[in-house]
A and B are shown apart, each in its own frame.
Chain A
């Protein structure tokens, strides 16, 4: 009785399996097409900007696809006497590095204190809540107030002013990120250190910091890139001597002319630090450093 159905079942099974295999391959192809589409959307502007940087203004404006590459844009941006770009670059470096350093110190100390030093819950929640609210406020609404405050204490058009502003702006994000990393440090490690004789600074320095190093790298890179890209606050707080890279790029769009090739060349150059930073720090952003600590 069962024989005919058995045969049916056994012959149906492989057929279904082949059909499945085909549809899986189709799915993979479709998935890759979608991903390639995304990659194109993300990478095309880069490609366009970089290729524009190598064109002459005329090639660019007539929309030439095939062209003889020129370095004029780069040379103008870097070496022309009227160009401030080298200075902008140095300003951005100084402001980015120092504000990132300050952000990392404050956010790490704050995260360690909030998550590992047994504060009442309301302290933790109100500080984190306030930092979110602050983060949601558009920076430009603060820039005006900062400008008049800094001017009255003589910090306008100074590194210190922009560094303070960038530190304040990027602290909430860094606090949240470092909070996640510090919370991931097993509580028992802190307790073991306490019993081993460590005081609070020892615990932070010898136990927590080495473990959250990947977190410091990730947070530091993001903070630096945010500072590097920040436009409105830097625009309000700086003048020619302290202008940062985004302001320098923006300046190529003048009222009467837009220096497209210089703008493209400056943009291309401005990508380099973030790119190098990511390449260099990628190996630090590896999870799993805590494996073997507990369990």
Chain B
């Protein structure tokens, strides 16, 4: 096991800078998720750590050793690809033991290691099947088995669950988490799915346009996004981003165009402000109350456990999530009381 240190890592393809000066320290045994919209450079960054892309500038250390010019095979890493990349002409056991065979281990050791990995992953019945004879979830597991038999210092995952159907994805997500708890190997995991990031990560790194937007534990990022982009990227339903006006007289209030105002957690600079409030950070009232915002209900979506309301306030849409059972209908008026401590003011726009 090893720590991973990225120091000013950059990558350019010709004139295009894909990764811009990224520094990050990943501790031994940590599960770090790189997340961002497509084209943000998260896969490229992972491939640079894997040694599949060259590093234009900066320094990469794994386990305290410089790795910039070390070939993939000597970096002590394993990687699970989005497409699994199983060798089509080899059965499950051969796929898993290929790296051991190349390392020159004898047949008995190989078989033992494969058997142990197969047991961990529940692959024993499929050891002599070819990849084409396996289901998607089984292939996924073989790819993971191939990664764990080598006992790597670092696991790299490149969107490993995105080819699975929704149900299987949830199951494999839990298995992945369990596997990490068991093996405690440093893991770097790339995804564009915020639920995977939230549920799996010790720390999340949010990337945009090849730069780090914010690093933190899942709940830190959820509760205290530094930017509107981060706030809107994590969480479902998405954070409401309201375009409001802060007047010079009272910098602790942000006003809608109809005059109603939201109290801000911290005073803001006067002018236009992007105010972010998560859908669950409102209290619903059926009558006016101090600090409440009157809004018109547009859509009601009950899911059983909770109800999602889409309301309109001064021409802006607001999503509200509540666990109460409601009997409001579209066209009704409701009064929203935002939770002052969880109102965020941003100075960027969330063009994700």
Contact of B88 with A196 in the complex, beta carbons under 8 Å: no
- Which residue, of A191, A195, A207, A289, has the highest number of chain B Cβ atoms within 10 A? A195
A197 at interface by CB-CB < 8 Å: yes
A293–B85 touching, CB < 8 Å: yes
- The stretch that binds A, out of B10-18, B115-123, B126-134, B279-287, is B126-134
User: A192 CA to B131 CA in the complex, in Å?
Assistant: 15
Contact among A199, A210, A295 with B83 in the assembled complex (CB-CB below 8 Å): A295
Known contacts A194-B71, A210-B89; is-contact A292 B52 (Cβ 8 Å): no
B289 CB to nearest chain A CB (Å)? 55
User: Which residue of chain B has its CB nearest to the CB of A210?
Assistant: B89
* 0/1 interface trace, chain A 257-295, chain B, CB 8 Å (1 if under): 000000000000000000000000000000001111111
CB contact under 8 A between A188 and B88, given known A292-B134, A292-B139 = no
Residues on the B chain within 8 Å of A199, using CB:
73
Q: Which residues of the partner chain B approach A128 to less than 8 Å between Cβ atoms?
A: none
A202 within 8 A of B: yes
A211 within 8 A of B: yes
Question: Are A294 and B50 in contact (CB-based, < 8 A)?
Answer: no
Q: Name which of B77, B78, B132, B134 has the most chain A CB atoms within 10 A of its CB.
A: B132
- Residues in B67-103 with C-beta less than 8 Å from chain A: 71-73, 77-79, 81, 83-89, 98-99, 102-103
CB neighbours of B139 from chain A (8 A): 292
CB < 8 Å neighbour of B98 from A206, A211, A292, A293 = A206
CB <8 Å contact, B83 and A195? no
- The answer on a CB contact under 8 Å between A186 and B83 is yes
- A198 cross-chain contacts in B, Cβ below 8 A: 73, 98, 102
The 0/1 profile, CB within 8 Å of A marked 1, for residues 131-146 of chain B is 1111000010000001
Q: Are B85 and A186 in contact (CB under 8 A)?
A: yes
Q: Which residue of A lies closest to B82 (CB)?
A: A188
Contact of B86 among A202, A210, A292 (CB under 8 A): A292
Given contact pairs A191-B81, A196-B99, A294-B83, A289 touches B73 in the complex (Cβ within 8 A): no
Cα separation A124 to B134 with both chains bound (whole Å): 37
Q: Is the CB of A291 within 8 A of B85?
A: no
Q: Are B79 and A192 in contact (CB under 8 A)?
A: yes
Interface size class of B (residues with CB under 8 A): 20 to 34
Count CB-based A-B contacts (< 8 Å). 86
Size range of the interface on A?
A: 20 to 34
| Chain A nearest CB, measured from B70 CB (Å) | 12
Using known A-B contacts A186-B83, A293-B131, determine if residue A191 contacts B88 with beta carbons closer than 8 Å: no
Contact residues in A for B316 (Cβ distance below 8 Å)? none
The answer on a CB contact under 8 Å between B50 and A188 is: no
A293 to B50, CA, bound (A): 20
A127 to chain B, nearest CB (A): 23
Q: Which residues of A contact B84 (CB under 8 A)?
A: 293-295
Q: Do the beta carbons of A192 and B85 come within 8 Å of each other?
A: yes
Is A189 part of the binding interface, using a Cβ–Cβ cutoff of 8 Å? yes
Whether the pair A294, B98 counts as a contact (CB closer than 8 A) is no
A193 within 8 A of B: yes
A197 to B88, CA, bound (A): 18
Per-position contact with B for A66-89: 1 when CB-CB < 8 Å, else 0?
A: 000000000000000000000000
**B98 and A193 within 8 A (CB):** yes
Residue of B72, B87, B98, B133 with most chain A CB atoms under a 10 A cut-off: B87
Q: A55–B82 Cα gap in the complex (Å)? A: 66
Chain B residues near A (Cβ < 8 Å): 50-52, 71-73, 77-79, 81, 83-89, 98-99, 102-103, 130-134, 139, 146, 150, 163
Q: Given A195-B50, A294-B83, 8 other A-B contacts at CB below 8 A? A: A188-B81, A189-B88, A192-B87, A196-B98, A197-B150, A202-B102, A210-B89, A292-B130
* Ranked 3 nearest A-B pairs via Cβ: A292-B132, A294-B83, A292-B131
